[in-house]
Structure 1
Amino acid sequence: MFFGGMPGGMPGGFPGGGGGMGGPPKNVDTEKLYETLGVKKDASKKDIRKAYMKLSRTHHPDKGGDEHKFKEISAAYEILSDAEKRTQYDKYGLEGVSGDDVGAAGGEDLFSMFFGGGRSRGGPRKAPSISHPLKVSLEDLYNGKTVKLAVNRKVIVGDSSECSDCHGRGSVMEMRQVGPGMIAQSQRPCHSCDGKGYHATFKKERKVLEVLIEKGMKDGERIKFSGMSDEVPKMEPGDIVFVVQEKDHGLFKRKGADLLAVKEVSLNQALCGFTWKIKHLDARDLVIKSKPGEIIKPEMNTKDALPFVKKLPGEGMPSKGNPFVKGDLYVMFRVKFPDTLPENVVSELRKLLPEPDETVEYDPMEVEEVHLTSADVRSFGKGGVNSVGSEAHESDDEDDGGRPVQCQQS
């Protein structure tokens, strides 16, 4: 509604201006973005930001909101918070900002975002999609599986009608007199349709969906069923999306198409060989053996002291889309050393193992014999004055402000 002046802002009161006069084209929607944020067209930049912050907290996907709705809110705020873009939109609608990179959607996608169906603005918009988490075992991601899931959706019974009170907007403008010759205008949800913009009768419908878990699928992948969400009048039904959530496995850890298993071996097994039987994700029994004479070391011979790792090529996860190409199965070893050994065992090992201890001649009465104690390499460099006792001594010195002691001279 306009107060004073002529509609369209053109002399003579021609709405929308005339062709060739530099005014906006006819039948251009310049209200949709304001409706998205729930503000008036003359809202201040502060009001627009306040509305955006409130809506973004409610509709953020991380808080269970609809992703499409959140994108609409973000794109609307990005345009209306920019003075130049807002002026262009107020004159030419979305056409006025179609060349801008708005919300990473690109101008061509703005019409699809707010009206559905690309630039065919007369087409129906799409209703919000619904996401469901789908917990899947590593075995099912390896072998593939079809899961039947029942979902309940709302479908329209009979015909629906646009709310005559709000004309399908879901909100109405109210005016009240706040002083002599002063009128305040505010927007509130339409009570007649509960803010929906339509009148319709719904019923619940139960659908059984066959969800295909493809071989090699990863955590976070989405399985979409188009048009299977709730029906909304004058809108295309949204999608039902199942989001894969990979369950933890008792033996294997996964990264991409590779698998990792951890094997603890005794010192005897590390030196003399080991045999390890495992059940793979396809229920095959694998017997992993070390080669004759092969030594399992505590760590790799690298500067970084990496864990000792070997692998079975082609025994990892299948690749999605090409399950015949598989990753590798890595085995990380941890060597368990005994705490102590009996003297008789030490004597035998000294004879059997290569490179025994060198014999050093010395007189115990003249040379000091010492033994090592347990230590933590993280404490290296913290000895001497940096030790705990010295730190306490230093803190005592700091109590008097670190001032030097002066001796009185006579």
Structure 2
Amino acid sequence: MQGVHSYRYNVDGIGVSDTPNSPGGLSKRRSVDNIFPLLPSYFSRSSSRRSPSPFSRSASRRSPSPTPSSLYRSISRKSAELTGHPGASPASLSRNTSRRSTTPIMYSNSTGIPVKPPAVEKKLECTLEELCFGCTKKIKITRDAITSSGQLIQDEEVLSIKVKPGWKKGTKITFEGKGNEVPGTQPADIIFLIAEKRHHLFRRDGDDLELAVEIPLVKALTGCTISVPLLGGEKMDLSIDDEIIHPGYVKMIEGQGMPTKDPEGARGNLKLLFLVDFPTELTDEQRSNVLGILEDCC
């Protein structure tokens, strides 16, 4: 199995609008100076002089024409009644109305298309057994999510990853749109990177497995039968009778390694790396016997 693979999980997401909200508040305000042309004609002085009614003079004294300052104070008083704050102006009413708006403000880039933040990478540790025989991993994630009303909440979700036999360290599994949500952007992706847990017996080398086997010197010279552990908990007997086991000796057991991609269902090999345990002490008689046996062999 060559190379590192990448797997992508497509997730249907709900798009977040990136169009800025229209400005809230009141409609266009008219200045005080623009109100006077709309006032009735009986407020003018000439209209008072032309009035034929005998009560016009007293009515004029009792109801003087409104001045700009008095009219502005009247508008301010009505604004205060609306807002509940004395002295509040129409401008402050507009600001208060805009401030109370609950519509979330959305941002976008210059093209109007929501940007997508960089993907978030997480490590997913697997044992050699899980990578050899396959398994299903459940991962609980917590992320920032935006509700339909624009509120930011913490959302929990459990993701399921089906680990396939033969996956290697560095294999990528991508979940689209399962990262944090930020107003005005698309949800980020989450990428899980396969990492191999260290095994107490085996070491992986591509599609092969390596196992160190230590035997005493006498068995290395005279032959032996040993019990070899296999990945998964099984054992097999291996006899070595016609060979001398020397330091660095390697014995290959076919089909007991990791699954390969091609052909499908095949497995690599198990390499036995032999370590010879030499004695630390010999008597004079033992030395003499060894010398007599090995003198003509070296």
Taking structure 2 as the reference length, the TM-score comes to: 0.57
Identity %: 34
Aligned AA (1:142): C
Aligned AA (1:285): K
Q: Does 1:314 align with 2:251?
A: no
Q: Distance in 2 between matches of 1:276 and 1:123?
A: 67
Indicate the structure (1 or 2) with the bigger Cα radius of gyration: 2
Q: Distance in 1 between matches of 2:163 and 2:115?
A: 30
Aligned AA (2:260): S
Q: Deviations over 1:133-188 (max 9, x none)?
A: 112111111111101111112211124xxxxxxxxxxxxxxxxxxxxxxxxxxxxx
Q: Which residue of 1 is the match for residue 163 of structure 2?
A: 213
Q: Deviations over 1:4-43 (max 9, x none)?
A: xxxxxxxxxxxxxxxxxxxxxxxxxxxxxxxxxxxxxxxx
Residues 356, 234 of structure 1: alpha-carbon distance in 2 compared, 3 angstrom cutoff: closer
Q: Which residue of 1 is the match for residue 152 of structure 2?
A: 202
Contact 1:217 1:320 survives alignment (8 Å):
no
Q: Distance in 2 between matches of 1:322 and 1:205?
A: 43
Q: Deviations over 1:65-102 (max 9, x none)?
A: xxxxxxxxxxxxxxxxxxxxxxxxxxxxxxxxxxxxxx
Residue 127 of structure 1 deviates from its aligned partner by: 3.0
Residues 257, 284 of structure 1: alpha-carbon distance in 2 compared, 3 angstrom cutoff: same
Contact 1:265 1:274 survives alignment (8 Å):
no
Q: Distance in 1 between matches of 2:179 and 2:226?
A: 49
Residue 285 of structure 1 deviates from its aligned partner by: 1.6
Taking structure 1 as the reference length, the TM-score comes to: 0.42
Q: Which residue of 2 is the match for residue 240 of structure 1?
A: 190
Residue 229 of structure 1 deviates from its aligned partner by: 1.0
Q: Does 1:128 align with 2:118?
A: yes
Q: Does 1:335 align with 2:276?
A: yes
Summarize the alignment of residues 123-202 of structure 1 with structure 2, pairs less than 5 Å apart.
123-159=113-149, 200-202=150-152
Q: Distance in 1 between matches of 2:187 and 2:261?
A: 29
Aligned AA (1:129): A
From 139, 164, 173, the equivalent of 1:223 is 173
Aligned AA (2:184): K
Residue 215 of structure 1 deviates from its aligned partner by: 1.2
Aligned AA (2:123): P
Residue 270 of structure 1 deviates from its aligned partner by: 0.4
Contact 1:276 1:288 survives alignment (8 Å):
yes
Q: Distance in 2 between matches of 1:355 and 1:254?
A: 41
RMSD: 2.6
Q: Distance in 2 between matches of 1:201 and 1:322?
A: 52
Q: Does 1:296 align with 2:237?
A: no
Summarize the alignment of residues 349-360 of structure 1 with structure 2, pairs less than 5 Å apart.
349=290, 355=296
Q: Distance in 2 between matches of 1:237 and 1:250?
A: 40
Q: Distance in 2 between matches of 1:240 and 1:321?
A: 29
Corresponding pairs, count: 190
Residues 146, 127 of structure 1: alpha-carbon distance in 2 compared, 3 angstrom cutoff: same
Q: Does 1:273 align with 2:223?
A: yes
Aligned AA (1:157): T
Q: Distance in 1 between matches of 2:296 and 2:290?
A: 11
SS at match of 1:126: coil
Contact 1:350 1:356 survives alignment (8 Å):
no
Q: Distance in 2 between matches of 1:259 and 1:233?
A: 49
Q: Distance in 2 between matches of 1:280 and 1:238?
A: 42
Give unpaired runs (5+ residues) of structure 1. 1-113, 116-120, 160-199, 299-306, 358-410
Residue 239 of structure 1 deviates from its aligned partner by: 1.1
Runs (4 or more) in structure 1 with deviation over 4 Å come to 320-323, 346-354
Aligned AA (1:216): G
